[in-house]
Amino acid sequence: MKTITFYSYKGGVGRTLALVEIANRLAEFGKKVCVMDFDLEAPGLLHKYRHNIDEVNQGLVDYIYEFAIENNVPDSIGKYTKEITRYHNSSNEKELQKRQNNIVFIPAGNSDSSEYWKKLSHISWWKLFYEKDSEGIAFFLDLKEKIKKEFNPDYLLIDTRTGITEISAITMSILADSIVLFAVNNEENIRGTQRIIKAITNEENNLLDTVKETHFVLTRLPQITSPEEWARDEGITLQVKRRIEETFQNTERKLNSFNVIHANNDIALYDRVTVNFDFERKNEKKDQTPSISSEYLSLFDSLTENDLSQEEKEKFYNLKRSEMLLQRAYNSFFQNDPNLLEQLDEIEKLSPQLPDVYLLRGRYYAECKKNYEHAIEQFNKTIELNDLSGDGLFFRANTYFLSKKYQKALEDCDEYISKNYQTYGKGALRYRIMLKNNLGFDQTKLITEMKELIEKYPNDSNFYNSISCLYREQEKYELALKNIYKAIELNSEVGAYYSTLAEIHFCMDNTLEFFRNLDEALTKNYDIEDMLILDTDNVKNIYKQAIKYPEFVRILNKHNKAYLIDLLQKDIEKPKQ
């Protein structure tokens, strides 16, 4: 476990934000990370992660208080921690997907409560470190060992208090393997940082006789907009670098890296940064401000220089490039781009273990080419690659349905629901009932199941449409109408609902309403062709009977669907088996 302490002599230099960005990037590399908020008097990490955790009740202050005041060393650090739940926009239709949790957060505590400040005020750092027989150093070394034993992180990142304090001494002298010093370009910041460097390079303060890496980050330099400003920027950077390096003279230590992070609107307005990838740095121009993203990447490279192999980095950046290209491929899929398969082949070469490549290729074969056998092969590959979203399973079920293998579709649907996948959760519940209907299950029981789902999800229009279809098959037309009108009330833009309404009216011998609602369904882009190819005879027979009406033919012609007449006619003439 490598421990990195993030320190600044003064606040407002971007220290905490940098820690979060480094933690997130390490996590994306698959590294297990523990982040600790040791800035006890002004905790900031909790606010950076406010959207990623639930309520914080305990933290580091409570843990220290237990020892310093109650004279008890807690058996575990676990109850004082939180898992960081990180999300990303998945490629498929922008659904939010939960990433694997590989960041553990040790907050300072619940700093909104008076109890937090009361406990903090009672902790005597003098007694912990300076009284005779004090055990503070042993206590904090034990804390570090507990983190290592209980979470086994690859990295422990510590956000420490500003100024020259006992807390900063603990985090840098006792806990750290590597120290990152942040400062802006003013005399107070630079002189304060030099004092800290002198303290940490003084062998008398090297209590554990360890060699620590030291990195410096000059932050918040103005953005460069002209060649003159570029020259000024380089002059400032060289001057500060020289002063920091001079501080290491006459010591056995050295400055391991010097990094610069310029001011940025995202930081100023939103307190956030979007860190991109190595392959995007190549396009940046020399005479302009480097992107904030590339500057954070440079810092990341400095802090992990001897930790990540070139093979790991190449694999990671190939994966990230693949994810970027995959987003473009999804756009191509929805825009019916004929070059989609070429795009997917390129992504597969970069990252052959990326499940979404095979998922999207499968959807293309199933939905665009109607090649269900090829689609199933791709979905099988998606599932083999441990598709965490379950989308491969869902779309394989859908493809089995399209190829009229209803039992296999039902088995996949049951597995999807049993594993509690979320992306298409409600759709799978509804889908399962309709599959059972196609397999001849008792409709009365299926209607009861659908009623239970409607009670649970009263605002989901799809459930009302599905139960309406079941009632129509039972010839309970009033109940069918009641439910389809509810579906349309909830969402009047779905063409399929108007086709359901049209079919009910046809069964009730109300042909005028049948024609009117069929026209509305096609106007709202209802895919009647798939319905005629795939749906049960129960529905198809309605449209076979409608062929005899000139108005039906006129409506199909109006919407460029005249070819469906031949399709229906051939089905009528097909000999019964």
Residue 58: pLDDT over 60: yes
pLDDT tens-digit readout, 174-226: 889 999 999 999 999 999 999 999 888 887 766 667 778 999 999 998 888 78
Round to whole Å and give the CA distance between 186 and 455.
Answer: 64
For position 273, what pLDDT does the model report?
52
pLDDT tens-digit readout, 319-377: 778 888 998 999 999 998 999 999 999 999 988 988 999 999 999 999 899 899 999 99
For position 256, what pLDDT does the model report?
94
Rounded to the nearest 5 percent, the helix, strand and coil shares of the chain are 60, 10, 30
Domains in the chain, CATH or no CATH each: 2-308 (3.40.50.300)
Decide: 398 and 363 in contact? Cβ < 8 Å.
no
Residue 234: pLDDT over 60: yes
Query: Confidence band (pLDDT; 50, 70, 90) for 562?
Result: confident
For position 573, what pLDDT does the model report?
67
Lowest-confidence pick of 119-128, 163-172, 439-448: 163-172
For position 283, what pLDDT does the model report?
46
Round to whole Å and give the CA distance between 553 and 565.
Answer: 7
pLDDT tens-digit readout, 273-289: 555 554 444 444 455 55
Residue 571: pLDDT over 80: no
The average pLDDT across 103-124 equals 93
For position 574, what pLDDT does the model report?
67
Query: Confidence band (pLDDT; 50, 70, 90) for 87?
Result: very low
The average pLDDT across 304-311 equals 85
381-411 in b/e form (b: 16+ CB < 10 A) is bbbebebebbbbbbbbbbbbbbbebbebbbe
Residue 94: pLDDT over 80: no
For position 52, what pLDDT does the model report?
74
Chain centroid offset of residue 160 CA: 28
Residue 440: pLDDT over 80: yes
Residue 575: pLDDT over 70: no
pLDDT tens-digit readout, 391-419: 999 999 999 998 889 999 999 999 999 99
Lowest-confidence pick of 251-255, 266-270, 401-405: 266-270
Residue 119: pLDDT over 60: yes
For position 529, what pLDDT does the model report?
76
Round to whole Å and give the CA distance between 370 and 437.
Answer: 24
Among residues of the chain, what percentage have pLDDT more than 90?
58
For position 362, what pLDDT does the model report?
96
For position 280, what pLDDT does the model report?
47
Query: Confidence band (pLDDT; 50, 70, 90) for 97?
Result: very low
Residue (of 324, 300, 326) closest to 312 by Cα position:
300
Question: Roughly what angle, to the nearest 10 degrees, separates helices 495-507 and 461-473?
Answer: 20
For position 446, what pLDDT does the model report?
96
For position 483, what pLDDT does the model report?
97
For position 96, what pLDDT does the model report?
33
For position 241, what pLDDT does the model report?
95
Lowest-confidence pick of 98-112, 152-166, 399-413, 458-472: 98-112
pTM: 0.65
Lowest-confidence pick of 38-42, 221-225, 232-236, 326-330: 221-225
3-state SS of 31-89 is CCEEEEEECCCCCCHHHHCCCCCCCCCCCHHHHHHHHHCCCCCCCCCHHHCEECCCEEE
Decide: 85 and 95 in contact? Cβ < 8 Å.
no
Stronger pLDDT, 230 or 154, i.e. the higher one: 154
What is 483-526 written as a DSSP string?
Answer: HHHHHHHH-TT-HHHHHHHHHHHHHTT-HHHHHHHHHHHHHTT-
Residue 48: pLDDT over 90: no
Task: Give the dihedral of Cα atoms 429, 434, 439, 444; nearest 10 deg.
Answer: 90
pLDDT tens-digit readout, 512-527: 999 999 999 999 988 8
Mean pLDDT of the chain: 87
Q: How far is CA 5 from CA 2, 163, 292, 413, 570, in A?
A: 10, 14, 22, 49, 75
For position 99, what pLDDT does the model report?
45
What is 295-318 written as a DSSP string?
Answer: HHHHHHHHHTTTTS-HHHHHHHHH
